[in-house]
Structure 1
Amino acid sequence: MVHSADGSRRLAVAQRGLIPRGSPVFYLHGTPGSRVGPLPKHGLLYRLGIRLITYDRPGYGDSDRQVGRQVGDVASDVATIADRLGLDRFAVVGRSGGGPHALACAALLGDRVTRAAVLVGRPRTARRGSTGSTAWPRATSRNTSRRWRDWRSSRRGSSWPRRRSRTTPWNW
């Protein structure tokens, strides 16, 4: 447990992988989510020399709520945890709803963040003043559900999910 910079909140923190010698990477969970999963497999973290640091964002898991919290507020929490762990520089990765938080850390923490990545991010959205999405120009509830059904039926009986799970470090 780490206390926030102002001392008013508790932040639940967990680490896995190559501790303390590994390259530090903050993993920011999705929405909803928590520090305990889904996470890369231990063996892969060791092989890659990664020290994975996760924490429950305010209001999730064992971390205290933060009234009026904004996406950019996560940068202060990540910096506080990094200071407590003695880390000067680190990478940030956000999965799904954690993606904007990872980008906020990269923007607000300057040279402390060596790299930033977003996993399972949202596709780009429509430009101001236009209607619809530029990433999915013809997506409607009718044709996307039909496409999903067709894709899913074409995969029945294949070993695609098993092959995929062996090649990716994530446990989802």
Structure 2
Amino acid sequence: MYALIVGGVLLIAAEVLKPKEPRAVAVDDMTYRQAFVIGCFQCLALWPGFSRSGATISGGMLMGVSRYAASEFSFLLAVPMMMGATVLDVYKSIGFLNASDIPMFAVGFIMAFIVALIAIKTFLQLIKRISFIPFAIYRFIVAAVVYVVFF
């Protein structure tokens, strides 16, 4: 629950404290230092309930990267991590898998990939028009609901 609140505060801080003119408008404009610091922000996701993408996007904006470029970079950062998690899952499940499962996994993989592309494209278009304040408010509401239901 606290991670939801801190994540919301971080999103608001990123919106309020970001430079008026970003130093990096596109991913290609980012420096190695900016990329490194954004990667360090990703470590906040080790805290259960803390959004990895929210942490990296906020970190990027605080480092002077545009909202769009920070979001795009956040999705790029997720690729190696997700691939590693997938390989680990397959390795752990290898004893339970059969050759007959391959078509089902292939269809699931393809559908998940298509839906992810649509979601990412939609999100990137949305953040061109709105700030992350609504996402922060959403996190506060979820934290309040969790508090009321479980405490």
TM exceeds 0.5?
Answer: no
More helix by proportion, 1 or 2? 2
TM-score calculated relative to the size of structure 2: 0.28
TM-score calculated relative to the size of structure 1: 0.26
Point out the structure with max Rg over C-alpha: 1
Structure number with greater CO (CA < 8 Å, separation at least 6) is 2
